[in-house]
Each structure stands twice: as C-alpha cells, then as structure tokens.
Chains A and B, each alone.
Chain A
C-alpha cells in the first residue's frame, strides 16, 4: 500500500509555538501533498511537494521531503488558534487516485 501514515496522531501546543507533523509512506512517489481539515468539514489543499524537491515553503508552512527515508514533515510556525485542525498527507500512484493517511489532530491552546 502507498498509504501515508502521519505521526503523531495528536498534538497539542500553545499558541505561538511551532508544530511539526510527520508522514511516512511505503512506495515511490511522484509527489506528496498536505491537506487540512477543520472539524467535520472538507479538506483544504495546503501544499504539494514533488519528488525532486527537498523543501517547500508557503507562508507559515514549511514542508520537507526525504525520498530516501520515504518521509515528509510539515512545520507550521508561529501557530494560531485557527490552525487547530486535522492534517493529512496524501500520495498517489497517479493523478486521480490519492491515498490519505489517518491524519494528525492539531490543537492550538490559547
């Protein structure tokens, strides 16, 4: 299976701190994506990193990819209460067939 697995399953930090989530996968990939889901809502695409990239930034988000270890990390800097959500990584054997992990539930405490 190419399923991504996030770690930790749950993370609780204070507002202003940085949050780091990790994703591991099993087979070769073309790219890896991160999505956010607020409670009971749809997923929102955050960032896509290609297999030939090692790091990518988008605002307060920083994603790294280590294809030799088949892992990726998502760093959210200077966290805010609005960052409270579940975060999922997704990989795909091709477009139109993404496989999602179980997600990391992030709670930002005021």
Chain B
C-alpha cells in the first residue's frame, strides 16, 4: 500500500455536487489506473494512463472525468453522480515500457470510499 496515496479517504456527496479524487504515486512509475470496486462485483478497470496518455477508457460514463497532469499524479473529477456510483475507488500505478508493455505488477493506494446521497 505504501508508495501510492489517495485523498480524500472518505467522501460523501450529493448528486448535484462536483468533487475530485486525487492520487499520487512516489514509486517512479509511469502508468496509473483508476478502478471501481463495488460490493459483490469484481474490480472494474475504469481508466489507464500510460506515459501520460490515456490508453484505456472502459465505457465509463462521462460523469467521471480523469486527468493525468504528469506521471506522478492522477485525478478523477466527479459530477452529477448517481447513488449506484457509491463504491471504493482505487488508484494504482505500475512501470510501463510503452503501450501495453511493461511490468505487470500494480501497486495500489488505500482507496477513496465514495458515498453518493
């Protein structure tokens, strides 16, 4: 868990709010990920940034908007969310050598527990 930090750890927001989740990795990696973990569902890959380019967008609704200003930071901007978006949002990082290439091991942050009311 160490090496990847996420803030805030807990977030409660109304359906009309706008908020952002932040992730920072201190491992010198150059690929970063957002995952969604809902109860009783497998971990879902949302977005992948490799070498600061978005290389994966798994049909995520536009109310989720990622931003990767540099290889160490990743944001997930949230707006007009739905109650079913309540979940644990996990950030991860890994070492990429190019699109689809690199080390497979991913390092995860502790997650942000999001509740949409």
* Min CB–CB distance B46 → chain A (angstroms): 12
Contact A42 B90 (CB under 8 A): yes
Chain A interface bracket (under 10, 10 to 19, 20 to 34, 35 or more):
20 to 34
Chain B interface bracket (under 10, 10 to 19, 20 to 34, 35 or more):
20 to 34
Please tell me if B76 contacts chain A, counting CB pairs below 8 Å. Answer: no
Of B55, B102, B105, B108, the residue contacting A42 (CB under 8 A) is B108
Contact status of A45 and B106, CB under 8 A, knowing A40-B113, A95-B100:
yes
Residues of A within 8 A of B50 (CB): 96
Contact status of A102 and B41, CB under 8 A, knowing A43-B90, A96-B96:
yes
Of A41, A97, A100, the residue contacting B48 (CB under 8 A) is A97
Known: A43-B90, A95-B101; 12 extra A-B contacts, CB below 8 A, are A41-B110, A42-B108, A42-B111, A48-B104, A92-B104, A94-B101, A95-B96, A96-B50, A96-B96, A96-B99, A97-B56, A100-B43
Please tell me if A31 contacts chain B, counting CB pairs below 8 Å. Answer: yes
Contact status of A95 and B103, CB under 8 A, knowing A42-B4, A44-B1:
yes
Residues of A within 8 A of B105 (CB): 33, 45, 48
Of B43, B100, B110, the residue contacting A88 (CB under 8 A) is B43
Summarize B's interface: helix, strand, loop or mixed.
strand
Please tell me if B74 contacts chain A, counting CB pairs below 8 Å. Answer: no
> Hey, what's the 0/1 contact readout for A73-110 against B, CB within 8 Å counting as 1?
00000000000000010001011111111110000000
Please tell me if B61 contacts chain A, counting CB pairs below 8 Å. Answer: no
Summarize A's interface: helix, strand, loop or mixed.
strand
Please tell me if B71 contacts chain A, counting CB pairs below 8 Å. Answer: no
Instruction: For the complex of A and B, list the 7 residue pairs with the smallest distance between their C-beta atoms, beginning with the closest.
Output: A42-B108, A94-B100, A100-B43, A95-B102, A43-B108, A42-B110, A45-B105
Contact A96 B110 (CB under 8 A): no
Contact B56 A96 (CB under 8 A): yes
Please tell me if A67 contacts chain B, counting CB pairs below 8 Å. Answer: no
Please tell me if A3 contacts chain B, counting CB pairs below 8 Å. Answer: yes
Contact B102 A3 (CB under 8 A): no
In the docked arrangement, what's the CA distance between A95 and B56, Å? 12
